[in-house]
Every structure is written in structure tokens, then in C-alpha cells.
Amino acid sequence: METKIRLAGISGSLRKDSFNTALLRTAATLLPEDVTMEILPIGDLPLYNGDLDVPAVQQRPEPVNIFREGLKRAQGLVIVSPEYNYSIPGVLKNAMDWASRGEDSPVIKKPVALMGATPGLWGTVRMQVAFQPLFLTLAMPVIYKPEVLVAGAEKKFTAGKLTDETAIEMVKKKLAALTDHIRKNSIA
């Protein structure tokens, strides 16, 4: 029997009725049987402050420790986010700043799959491109294909769940590509 693969899921939106959080929750239900996803909240993380980010884990703020421990348990990341002003939402950039700092960073070299949903026509493509320098710096392999860019989101979700069959199939394929990468590279 194969080892269970553990993923960490992060939504880049704090909105209660966020399409992106709904997309992440839907993705968590579409995983293969041997894969689990822990959705990590980021709303309680303080703004990044290097004075608080000391190497001794017990000296970081508790929400940061909890977040980083969740990332440490995972073999890969699923980040689902809106696009704000053609870029990464501040709350998500803040979370990645906390995750990426220090020699004990829990995200270095971990594969990541990006997805996004928006009422607009571009489907978060610019947010996904804006992430590339960060992932390159952290040596995080990005699962580029298939792209999951859910445009016109208000027509593709019902009662907080993704219902568009084409988008659902793309999410399944993206998750399969991520888990295949993890298996092939013995990260699990």
C-alpha cells in the first residue's frame, strides 16, 4: 500500500463567501483516496515582522507556529486565490512571507499547484504569474498544467460549491498532476 500523501491547502481570500475558498473546499473533496488535504487558515497571521521571526519556533507568534507546522506536515501545497490589482492578495503574500523565511522554512522545494476563481474574464492569470519569482526563489516546483483559471465564477458555483463540470475536471487533473509529481519525486 502506498503512503498517504498530505497536502496543505491555502485560500488567498478572507471573504466569508469567497469563490476561492469554495474552490479549495471543492478540491479537497476531489482528491484521490490516498491523498488528504489540510486547509490552513491565514486570517489570524500577524503582518510579517522580522523582529518576531526568530529561529526558535517557540518565539514566533502562535498563529505562525500553527501555520508553519501545517505546512511542514504536507508534501505539497494547493494555493487557491483571487487576483487583487493584477497581483497576489496582501493576506496571501503575508502568509508566504511567514512560511518562506528562515533555514527551517517548511515550503522550500515543496511542489505547488495554483488555482483561482474570479467573476472577471482573466481567471486570476496575473496573480498566478506574479507568484513565479517567489516560487523560483524557494525552489518550489510549480505544477503549471492544466491551468485552473475559473473565470465568470458567479455562474460556476452554487451554494458555495463548484458545479461547473469543465472546471471540476480541470481541478481533478491539476490535483492528479500534483500528486503524480510528489510520487515520482519521492516526496511522500
The full length of the chain comes to: 188
Residues 6 or more apart whose CB falls under 8 angstroms from that of 96 comprise 88, 107, 134
CA 174 to mean position of chain CA atoms: 12
What confidence score (pLDDT) does residue 187 get? 55
Q: Which residue has the cell 517567489?
A: 134
Q: What is the mean pLDDT of residues 149-155?
A: 95
Dihedral of the alpha carbons of 113, 119, 120, 126, in degrees to the nearest 10: -20
Helix (H) or strand (E) holding 116: strand 112-117
Segment 166-176, tens digit of pLDDT: 999 999 999 99
Segment 3-61, tens digit of pLDDT: 799 999 999 999 999 999 999 999 999 999 999 999 999 999 999 998 888 766 568 89
Residue 33: Cβ-neighbour burial (10 angstroms; 0-12, 13-18, 19+) = exposed
Is it true that domain 5-184 has CATH number 3.40.50.360?
yes
Which grid cell sits at 110? 515543496
What confidence score (pLDDT) does residue 1 get? 47
Residues 6 or more apart whose CB falls under 8 angstroms from that of 75 comprise 5, 6, 7, 110, 111, 182, 187, 188
Q: Report pTM.
A: 0.94
